[in-house]
């Protein structure tokens, strides 16, 4: 803890931080297998790392952290693994409720939560509602989330508005479409980090990532540290972002 506090003071003073960071928390299964442990042990370790990284992001002045916790495709995993991930999410949300005043993290959820167990849906709704009062740092947890699914849902919602006479096709522009996504009005991610050596997007924030900077590392998510995050931020700060223009 001391180390991070020290780091925070040093680092905050000498470099800008991205406003919105998104992370694919990948490599939990391999981390556990490498240690002869069940895959679920990797998710448990990954869940602790999420806590640590979220707190660190809050402390260094990041405004939004979006993490991929469970995709629309992750239902294909064994029942044991799915149950373990859902259990970890429940545990995290229970603890978040208890420590809310201390953590001061606004929690949001991206994805179709209706497929989750009612208890988990209720916990998500409660943490979301109670934490809405905190300003400064927001963590978005993607649950039963898929980028294509998100886009299809937004397109369907707009089509339904048109059918109901509440909207017209010509009025749909990028800003209007963006506002219909789970991410609503929050800015697109500046930096998307994928640990574990995989070099793909895996259906994560497909619309929002149009001009995001990607950062890949071989480190597995349960081994991810604030120092690793600092490396990603340093690399990000060296990039020249042109958004299609010329600098
Ligand atoms: C990807 O690693 C990770 C997941 C599909 C689950 C992530 C879930 C958690 C970290 C736990 C709960 C989350 C929160 C926010 C409390 P993988 O299993 O695909 O790893 P592998 O590629 O090595 O198999």
Q: How far is the CA of 42 from the centre of ligand 1 (A)?
A: 7
Q: What is the pLDDT of residue 246?
A: 80
pTM (two decimals) = 0.94
Q: Where does the pLDDT of residue 231 fall: very low under 50, low under 70, confident under 90, or very high at 90 and above? A: very high
Verify whether residue 144 is a known catalytic residue: no
Note the pLDDT tens digit of each residue in 48-103: 999 999 999 999 999 999 999 999 999 999 999 999 999 999 999 999 999 999 99
Q: How many domains does the chain have?
A: 1
Note the pLDDT tens digit of each residue in 121-171: 999 999 999 999 999 999 999 999 999 999 999 999 999 999 999 999 999
Output the six-digit token pair for 228: 């690793």
Of 74, 112, 203, 223, catalytic: 74
Question: Is 2 part of a structural domain of the chain?
Answer: no
Question: Is 62 part of a structural domain of the chain?
Answer: yes
Rounded to the nearest integer, the mean pLDDT of the chain is 94
Of 26, 103, 149, 190, catalytic: 26
Does ligand 1 come within 6 angstroms of the Cβ of 105?
A: no
Question: Is 207 part of a structural domain of the chain?
Answer: yes
- pLDDT at 218 > cutoff 80: yes
Question: Is 74 part of a structural domain of the chain?
Answer: yes
Alpha helices in the chain (DSSP H): 2-14, 28-34, 39-60, 79-103, 118-131, 147-163, 174-179, 226-238
Which of 2-11, 194-203, 226-235 has the weakest average pLDDT? 2-11
CATH for 70? 3.40.1180.10
What angle do the packed helices 226-238 and 39-60 form, to 10 degrees?
Answer: 60
- pLDDT at 3 > cutoff 60: no
Region 169-174: mean pLDDT is 97
Contact 71, 203 (CB under 8 A): yes
- pLDDT at 8 > cutoff 60: no
Provide the domain limits for residue 195: 12-146+188-233
Question: Is 4 part of a structural domain of the chain?
Answer: no
Strands 213-216 and 191-194: parallel
What are the two backbone dihedrals, phi and then psi, of residue 66, each rounded to the nearest 5 degrees? Answer: -115, 125
Question: Is 24 part of a structural domain of the chain?
Answer: yes
What angle do the packed helices 79-103 and 39-60 form, to 10 degrees?
Answer: 20
Q: What is the pLDDT of residue 13?
A: 55
Q: What is the DSSP letter of 108?
A: E
Q: How far is the CA of 40 from the centre of ligand 1 (A)?
A: 9
Question: Is 174 part of a structural domain of the chain?
Answer: no
Verify whether residue 26 is a known catalytic residue: yes
Q: How far is the CA of 241 from the centre of ligand 1 (A)?
A: 30
Question: Is 83 part of a structural domain of the chain?
Answer: yes
């Amino acid at each position: 803890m001391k180390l991070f506090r020290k780091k925070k003071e040093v680092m905050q003073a000498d470099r800008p931080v991205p406003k919105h960071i998104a992370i694919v928390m990948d490599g939990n299964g391999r981390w556990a297998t490498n240690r002869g442990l069940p895959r679920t042990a990797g998710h448990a370790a990954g869940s602790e790392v999420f806590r640590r990284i979220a707190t660190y992001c809050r402390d260094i002045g990041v405004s939004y952290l979006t993490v991929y916790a469970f995709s629309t495709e992750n239902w294909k995993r064994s029942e044991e693994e799915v149950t373990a991930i859902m259990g970890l999410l429940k545990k995290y949300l229970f603890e978040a409720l208890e420590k809310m005043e201390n953590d001061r993290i606004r929690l949001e959820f991206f994805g179709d939560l209706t497929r989750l167990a009612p208890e988990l849906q209720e916990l998500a709704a409660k943490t979301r509602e109670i934490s809405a009062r905190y300003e400064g740092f927001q963590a978005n947890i993607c649950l039963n989330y898929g980028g294509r699914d998100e886009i299809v849902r937004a397109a369907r919602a707009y089509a339904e508005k048109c059918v109901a006479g509440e909207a017209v096709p010509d009025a749909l522009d990028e800003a209007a479409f963006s506002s219909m996504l789970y991410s609503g009005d929050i800015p697109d991610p500046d930096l998307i980090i994928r640990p574990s050596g995989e070099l793909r997007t895996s259906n994560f924030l497909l619309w929002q990532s149009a001009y995001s900077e990607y950062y890949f590392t071989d480190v597995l998510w349960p081994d991810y540290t604030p120092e690793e995050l600092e490396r990603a931020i340093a690399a990000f700060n060296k990039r020249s972002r042109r958004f299609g223009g010329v600098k």
